[in-house]
Structure 1
Amino acid sequence: MLRATLRSLAAHRGRLLLSALAVLLSVAFVVGSVIFSDTVRHTFDRLFAASAADVTVLPRDAPEGRDQTLSGAQPTLPAALAAPAAEVEGVADARPEVRVQNVTVVGDDGRRIGSSTGAPTIATGWYPEPRRVVELAEGRPARGDREALLDRDSAERHDVSVGDRLRIVAEPATTEVEVVGLAAFTTTNPGATLVFVDPDVAARLLLGDAERATSIAVTAAEGVPHPVLRDRVAAALGEGYTYRTAEQQSESAAEELGTVLGVIRWVMLGFAGVAVLVGVFLIINTFAMLVAQRTRELGLLRALGAERRQVRRSVLVEALLLGVVGASLGLLAGVGLAHALVRLMGLLGMYLDPADIRIEPVVPVAAYAVGVGVTLVAAALPARRAGRVPPVAALADTEVSAVGRPLRLRAALGAVVAVAGAGALVLLARAESAGRAGMWLAVGVALTLLAAVLAGPALVRPVVRVLGLGMPRAFGPVAVLARRNALRNPRRTGATASALMVGLALVTGLSIGGASITASFDREVDRTLGADFVVQNESFRPFTSEVARRVGAVEGVGVVVRERFVPLRLALPDGSTHRTIGAAVDPELDEVARVEYAAGDTAGAVGADRLALDRRFAARHGLEVGSTLEAGFVGGRTAELRVGALVESGSPAPGGDVGAFLGLPTLERHQVAGQDAVLLVNAADGTGPPVLRERLERALADLPQVQVRDHADYKQLVRDQVAVLLYLVYALLGLAVVIAVLGVVNTLALSVIERTRELGMLRAVGMSRRQLRRMVRLESVVICLFGAVLGLALGAVWGLALHRLLALEGLTVLAVPWWTVAAVAVGSLVVGLTAAVLPALRASRMNVLDAIAHE
């Protein structure tokens, strides 16, 4: 049996090629995503490990990661703490360090020097010691407050060389410096921009206070364990600070990065799962058709004494070999994909060294688990059918099959699963929290997809008949034959169309979600934003107070309202703690925004020690106007705040659904200084908006970190950001469509082989080669249109469910991207025609006499 299996596999290797390609693509996507995320993590781990001091002393509850990025707050501690720290037993050295991220570096040409992907721009002192992650590559260290070094990677990207002039825009002031040296990273630089100044003046230039520092770096004497030294330093300096070993500091930084990497990894693996699912349809279809075509061969084996389990094992061995070959090739392709992703990220601003690519032992395990496992699972049902082929089938001229009862059973089972999926979506519609709604959305999507796959074959006949109504008039009898061929085996047509259905359903559902987000935001801007202009950073990063000062001094400005993002920890009545990003605004909010209040007003919201909360959030936690709760701010300070208002949506101004807002005077009493994230500007009476915009842009021309936008510009910014995400989704889902096309090609190719004698008879009775090609193409188009109809219907259901989830977050407008729907329908026709090219060509080239004599 083994020899027979190997010979059969060799005889049908061409028929299995496309299935192997589907396995290859699925495995490659899994392997590529795992290797890429491991490489990024390893790169940052090395960077964090190389830059962390043996023990670091930080301000209590200093903001990190996203909190620091959004708030711009920079807590400090006394630089004088370095002296008592240096006296601790086991300390080799202790010194104050200044390191800030809320700076902008501007070149001679007025352009910002930095990454466009959100990587930070960091200004720090040049501390000569082995732990530094950079080394002097050119020039000399900076001396005094008019010199600086720049990292060589950034210098090369922005054409900066020694002797050029730069401006460092920091919160205390803007400083003009000369580049006196370039620093090269000793590890891979993922994209950050580093500027180094003289450590003796760093605190004054970057913090505005020569007696402050952002941390104290402590170096351990030889042989002193880091945890022991940390405890000694903590005992000497007291409880008012945070103490971390090098390992803890690296873990903290890696944990923040891990959240982002986790999202990227799971998104990529999610699309790999889609590719695997689509590949399963292709493999099932391929083996089912091969078993059907080999009915006489399998029947003969049974007649010669082969047992059912031997026949089943024969088919599974073919699947095993197919899976091993596909997984092996997919593993190699996955490594190539990881290299391509590294190169792509370099073009986008995240610079990774291809030499750092990590291939962990889990990678080949995952490759073969996916490739072999998926193939064996997909081939299990065809193998079972193969074992049931009776010996008498060897004498029959036609395929032995029974499609009636199983088809009815599948339809009934699909209906049951569809009802369960509909129930999950009903529960989603009734959910009051986004978290619970998201859970029901995942359940509903999974169940409705399973229902469509199960019931798909039962829908083939009614749907295909409707789709093919106009075809006979357009294409004549050839179209009738094409439609009948598609109806001949509903299971095969349903499985082939399901592969395309999955990709199209996801595209349709996510397109509806994306269109609803942009439409909702457009309406929200029109409804709530009363300012003539919005001044902000493209990436919503904060900027220095110099921007507000310049805007306020522009002739024709009527009112300027500042908004800052505020990381808050709210102690709720039930004893839990809720972390959110709030907003702090100037009391003149009503002049630039129209906030819809459910209770209270702006005076209550921004009054002393007051805050406003989202109405739905307050209702869930038993809060109302007059309730008090403890709020924790950056720097570890806490305050009792009274709820002064409830709003219908959490954000009082552009910046997102922040969940809470308060007055800037309240924030400034309880938190270290932060930075503005948004300026809302109104023109004074007598000044037209076009004139004011020109003046604002002229006043901010040398501050490239911010842009002036009117309503239309602000809407377009959000549309562009949503579009980038959707384009990424479309590109990734393109993989699923490619595999679906392979499925259609495979089905048609095997169908042509299966109907060789029939096609020969058609040619013998007068059908031309051109008509034969047209018949195969029309059959392909019908299959793809059937998949498109199912995909559009399923995607519409998912899109409506996703809109309900978005509505819980305040995005209530439903928008259907009709152009995308039309593109999906037209694309299905293109897919059908493309997939049929080779099978149609092969069918038309058959020798008529050989085809009639085919067994």
Structure 2
Amino acid sequence: MPEPPPVTSAPLPSSSPMPMSPPRGRWRASWSIATGAGAGRRPPIGTDQGSMFRATVRGIVAHRVRFVLSVVAVLLGVAFVAGTYVLTDTLDRSYDGLFDDTVRDVDLVVQLRGQSGPEGSRERFPDAVVDQVGAIDGVGSAHGVVWGYAQFVGADGEAIRKGGAPTLGLSWFQDGRDGPLRLVGARSRPPVGPDEVAMDVDTARANGFRVGDRVRVLLTGPAREFTISGLFGFGERLDLGAFTYAAFDEDTAQEAVGAPGEVDAVNVVAAPGVGVDGLARRVETELGPAYEAQPAATAAAAAGAAVRDILALLTAALLAFAAVGVVIAALLVFNTFTIVVAQRARELGLLRVLGASRAQVVAAIVAEALVVGVVASVAGLFLGVGIAALLLRVVEGVGFDVPDGAVVVTSRTVAVAIGVGVLVTVVAALWPALRASRDAPLEAMSDTARPPGRTTAWRVLVGVVLTFAAVPVIITGLDRTADARSLTGDLAWVGAGALLVLVGVVILLATFAGPFAGALGRIGRRIGPAGVLARENAMRNPRRTAATASALVIGLTLVTAVAVFGASTKASVRAAVDRGIRADVILKAQQFAGFSPEVADRAAAVDGVRAVSPFQFRKVRILGNEETVASAEADGLAATVDLDLVAGSVGALDDDGILVHEDAAADYGYRVGDQVIVQMSRGYFPLTVAGVYRQADFTGGLPVSWVVPRAVYREGFGPDEQDTLVYLTTAAGVDADAVATEVRADLRSDFPNVDVLTRAGYRDDQERAIDRFLAVSIALLLLSEVIAVLGIVNTLALSVHERTREIGLLRAVGMSRAQVRTMIHREAVVIAAIGALVGIAVGLVWGWLFVAALGSQGLTTVSVPWLELAVFLVVALLAGVLAGWFPARRAARLDVLDAIARP
């Protein structure tokens, strides 16, 4: 027999790809089992780049079902991010367009130069300036503009309001039909005389008004009746969103807003061929340094700054909720790839034996994650656009109208949404990929079961260090937040400390998950072997159990913190009303604009009213710091609130005095008799400290640290300032409910924009507002809880796949289908219980921290809503049962012999 030819070999570096062909002879069967080659499949792969790419594609296709929930989780997180940007960009674009249309066909807007005073307020100026501007060379036309509060009253007698946005009155500031104001309909004409008003067409259509109808309008006094001369919009825009506009002729507008002989601005149209920049310089030169002439677009942007600030806060808040969902989705992806990579250990080990490098193995797994991320991100982007469109309708449904406009999807939104989805998925899969590449190839290919991951010493060390590092950070934050003036930045210290606590607990959870699962599982031992096995399965891989429960920990931490914050806020409001308010009846503005000061006079005339104290609130500057002041009169203040004076007297307030809270007095070093310079919009006012008080919570809302005389306030901000609150104290023996009913009946016709409440009713009204905030916040956090539950489903489903042979053996020795279902259900409940209990515990810490940090803002009482927390726990356990339904059903339906035959 001839001898076989000699075989030569050379060492091959592991980093070099080695072309492969299908093995021959006795190894063919093993190869087919390991790679799935044969039976109509493609030939075995090599380890060059093309072959590795094909292996990656095959891996995705072969394990596509295992990645479904990962795609769904990332999709939901990306949809929240994309929906947030689409929603706020659409609102921003709509309102920017609205403000731009208010100065359409206007070239310059002339106003008093912006002051550095509180709220960036500008003062009115004599209307003689309008003629002066009109006479400047290059000015085509100049029209004075007056604006202020004006609110229509509907046919039902209720004040018309659309979501709390401003209700504005303005002068008809143009001749004929040229300019930003556009009359709608052939019968419409500008208002003329003291009995006519033009109504914006959107308000008219929504409330059934037509040209020629009579309508009542709330101005600086009781509601007045006008005839509707016409309907109008701004430019081509007929939908003005949440705003309402009432237009009068100039004389009527000046009288209506309490500014006879004054205007707020001058709208200038340049003569043909005149440059706007040069004209602006000539106008400013002619009028002097007190005035500035801005391009119309700049003035429109400044007018819309407040709306943009609100939208920026809305964007930040929604993105914070979205970030929670994205983080929890990342945990689900991490868990998925950890389990899937462990299940594919033999396959990956074989690739390494056949010459694939560690880098190629990592790249193959990361490529799978990349595909998952791209698919989920693109789908999430489209879902986010749909969600935003739906939210716009929901926003309108609750009364906050949005100006018409197309849904806005910017390139920024597309880039961020896809970038976040892909980055989160790839980063979450990177660590499992790196771990898989470090396994020795032959060890990975062995039939010996891989031991479950154990908690390493470094993990425990990191968790402990982070948790204890939070303590000095939190102490620093709580110390700094005692000063309300630096609150915003210093809250970040408390937030950072709270985050360190959460991260530390999540890292340490792997250490305690096993014992925790064992303790909780003892409860299930009473149901027999299924309960015992459920407990053992939860304890078998504590890192996997902890990773799955961590998503619930994060979600329930936030939900619990919000619930504690809300309950504490309500408790603090109740305490403030009971402690600081002596008034029996409270009149409250329905909108931020307030109501006429005549309301207080009318209420004072009602039988049974002993004392009246109207309040107004505005921002001022004291020694360069922005502060909030309340205005009041000494007699009414002393009878309706309990200031708990430390020094001085309330009676001295009316003599150009000022009352100061003891904390503010300590911060600024003021004592009774010291002079305080208060900057208001109309100048600087020297006041003398008349008293120092301890009780700042006399509004039921934010604490008030400064009280100035009502007369000084009206001098500093103008006589047309509206009241926000009016407190009434009844005479001895008089029923407060009866007085409230009589006051309500007296005011209803002339002042339908005022709510009349008893003290208990006012407290309930404040609590309802807090409940609405809580409902919205918890609803937004439900997304993270949904993703967390998907995580439990995902882990159990992959675990069932991993334990197929084990389940088959259990069935073979007598375990029934029902017992298999019970085992999986109990395992899901144990994981949910761990996440819920730890999340609620950390959430209690978070809630206490933020309530303590906001003590300077009136949160004086920590309240734990135990009933709500019990509901959260029960819902989490029920979610665990629901999460275990599909994996339990699948496990129970496994064919016994097929399951045993699985490798």
Structure-2 change in CA distance of 1:508 and 1:140 (3 Å) = same
Q: Is 1:415 the counterpart of 2:461 in the alignment?
A: no
User: Would you say 1:58 and 2:104 are equivalent positions?
Assistant: no
Distance 1:524 1:67, change over 3 A: farther
1:223–1:784 CA distance, 2 compared to 1 (3 A): farther
Change (3 A) 1:303 1:354: farther
Distance 1:765 1:402 in 2: 25
1:258 Cα deviation (Å)?
A: 2.2
Determine helix, strand or coil for the equivalent of 1:713: helix
Greater radius of gyration (CA): 2
User: What is the identity, as a one-letter code, of the residue corresponding to 1:136?
Assistant: V
In the alignment, does 2:262 pair up with 1:215?
no
- Aligned partner letter, 1:247: A
Counterpart residue identity of residue 389, structure 2: H
Distance 2:633 2:224 in 1: 29
Distance 1:173 1:402 in 2: 77
CA distance in 2 between counterparts of 1:444 and 1:466 reads 30
Using the alignment, how far apart are the partners of 1:705 and 1:538 within structure 2? 6
Maintained 8 Å contact 2:565/2:847: yes
Aligned-partner SS, 1:560: strand
> What is the one-letter code of the residue matched to 1:487?
M
Query: What's the counterpart of residue 200 of structure 2?
Result: 151
Check if 1:107 corresponds to 2:154.
Answer: yes
Matching residue of 1:483: 535
Residue 255 of structure 1: aligned partner: 305
Equivalent in the alignment of 2:823: 775
Contact kept? 2:832, 2:877, Cα under 8 Å: yes
After TM superposition, give the deviation of residue 468 of structure 1 in Å.
2.0
Say which of 723, 727, 733 aligns to 1:680: 727
Q: Does 1:659 align with 2:710?
A: no
Partner AA of 2:169 in structure 1: I
| Cross-structure match for 1:819 | 867
Q: What does residue 768 of structure 2 align with?
A: 720
Q: Which residue of 2 aligns with 1:644?
A: 690
**Structure 1 counterpart of 2:529, one-letter code:** P
**Letter in structure 2 aligned against 1:657:** P
CA contact (8 A) 2:521 2:534 kept: no
SS at match of 1:112: coil
> What do the CA deviations read for 1:324-376 (whole angstroms, capped 9, x no partner)?
11111111111112212221222133333564322222111112210111111
Separation in 2, partners of 1:198, 1:671: 24
What is the Cα deviation at residue 751 of structure 1? 0.4
In structure 1, the partner of 2:641 is 593
Number of residue pairs the alignment of both structures matches: 839
Q: Which amino acid aligns with 1:270?
A: A
8 Å contact from structure 1 (residues 580, 658) kept in 2:
no
Matched, 1:465 2:515: no
Distance 1:745 1:65 in 2: 55
2:471 alignment partner, SS class = helix
Q: What displacement does 1:686 show? A: 5.5
Contact 1:295 1:399 in 2 (8 A): no
The separation in 1 between residues aligned to 2:55 and 2:268, in whole angstroms, is 72
User: Does the 8 Å CA contact 2:812/2:896 hold for their aligned counterparts?
Assistant: yes
The 5 Å alignment of 1:387-786 reads 387-393=437-443, 395-401=445-451, 403-404=453-454, 406-431=455-480, 432-434=482-484, 435=487, 437-473=490-526, 475-570=527-622, 572=623, 577-588=624-635, 589-604=637-652, 606-634=653-681, 636-650=682-696, 652-654=698-700, 656-673=702-719, 674-685=721-732, 687-702=734-749, 703-786=751-834
**1:792 is matched with which residue?**
840
Partner of 2:886: 838
Any conservation in 2 of the 1:124–1:202 contact (CA below 8 Å)? yes
Q: Which runs of 5+ in 1 are unaligned?
A: 69-73
Residue of structure 2 in register with 1:48 after alignment? 99
Query: How far apart, in 2, do the equivalents of 1:191 and 1:326 lie?
Result: 36
Structure 1 residues 64, 148: CA separation in 2 closer, same or farther (over 3 Å shift)? Answer: farther
Deviates most, 639-648 or 439-448: 639-648
Partner of residue 166, structure 1: 215
Residue 650 of structure 1: how far off its partner (Å): 3.8
- Contact 2:172–2:248 (Cα < 8 Å) also in 1: yes
- Of stretches 52-61 and 362-371 in structure 1, the one that deviates more from structure 2 is 52-61
Distance 1:30 1:390 in 2: 41
Kindly state the Cα deviation for residue 126 of structure 1 after the two structures are TM-superposed: 6.2
Residue correspondence of structure 1 range 77-88 to structure 2 within 5 A: 77-88=125-136
The one-letter code of the counterpart of 2:671 is: E
Return closer, same or farther for 1:843/1:137 CA change in 2, 3 Å cut-off: farther
What are the ranges of 5 or more consecutive residues in structure 2 without an aligned counterpart? Answer: 1-51
8 Å Cα contact 1:293-1:399 kept in structure 2: no
Look up the equivalent residue of 2:524 and give its one-letter code.
M
Q: Which amino acid counterpart does residue 693 of structure 2 have in structure 1?
A: V
- Distance across 1 between alignment mates of 2:131 and 2:431: 75
State the Cα distance separating 1:61 from its structure 2 match. Answer: 5.5
Would you say 1:277 and 2:327 are equivalent positions? yes
Aligned to 1:374: 424
CA contact (8 A) 1:749 1:839 kept: yes
1:851 partnered with 2:878:
no
Report deviation, 1:157. Answer: 2.2
Q: Return closer, same or farther for 1:531/1:153 CA change in 2, 3 Å cut-off.
A: same
Contact 2:562 2:778 in 1 (8 A): no
Q: Is the 8 A contact 2:804 2:902 kept in 1?
A: yes
TM-score, normalised to structure 1's length? 0.94
How is 1:177-192 mapped onto 2 (pairs within 5 angstroms)?
177-185=226-234, 186-187=236-237, 188-192=239-243
CA distance in 2, matches of 1:79, 1:440: 51
Cα–Cα, structure 1 residues 713 and 686, in superposed 2: closer, same or farther, change >3 Å? closer
Q: In the TM superposition, what are the counterparts of 1:14-413 in structure 2 within 5 Å?
A: 14-52=65-103, 53-59=106-112, 75-100=123-148, 102-125=149-172, 127=174, 128-137=176-185, 139-141=187-189, 142-171=191-220, 174-185=223-234, 186-187=236-237, 188-199=239-250, 201-207=252-258, 209=260, 211-241=261-291, 243-352=293-402, 355-393=405-443, 395-401=445-451, 403-404=453-454, 406-413=455-462
Paired residue type of 1:31: A
**What is residue 57 of structure 2 aligned with on the other side?**
6
Letter in structure 2 aligned against 1:534: I
Residue by residue, what CA displacement relative to the aligned partner does 1:224-271 show, whole Å, maximum 9, x if unpaired? 343432332222223444543313312312322222111101001111
Does structure 2 retain, via aligned residues, the 8 Å contact 1:67–1:567? no
RMSD: 2.2
Cα displacement (A) at 1:708: 0.8
Superposed CA deviations along residues 426-476 of structure 1, whole A, max 9, x for unmatched, are 333433325264122111122112112211111102222222222212x12
Separation of aligned partners in 2, 1:244 and 1:610? 39
Q: Is the 1:90–1:224 contact (alpha carbons within 8 Å) kept by the matching residues of 2?
A: yes
Residues 500 and 134 (structure 1 numbering): CA distance in 2 closer, same or farther, change over 3 Å? farther
Tell me, in whole angstroms, the C-alpha distance in 1 between the residues paired with 2:85 and 2:468: 36
Provide closer, same or farther for how the CA distance between residues 414 and 547 of structure 1 changes in structure 2, counting only shifts above 3 A.
same
Cα deviation, 1:19-74, whole Å, max 9, x if unaligned, reads 01111111111111112212211112222222134222335668999788xxxxx9
Distance 1:399 1:422 in 2: 42
CA offset at residue 189 of structure 1? 1.8
Contact 1:172 1:208 in 2 (8 A): no
The answer to whether the 8 Å contact 2:330/2:425 transfers is yes
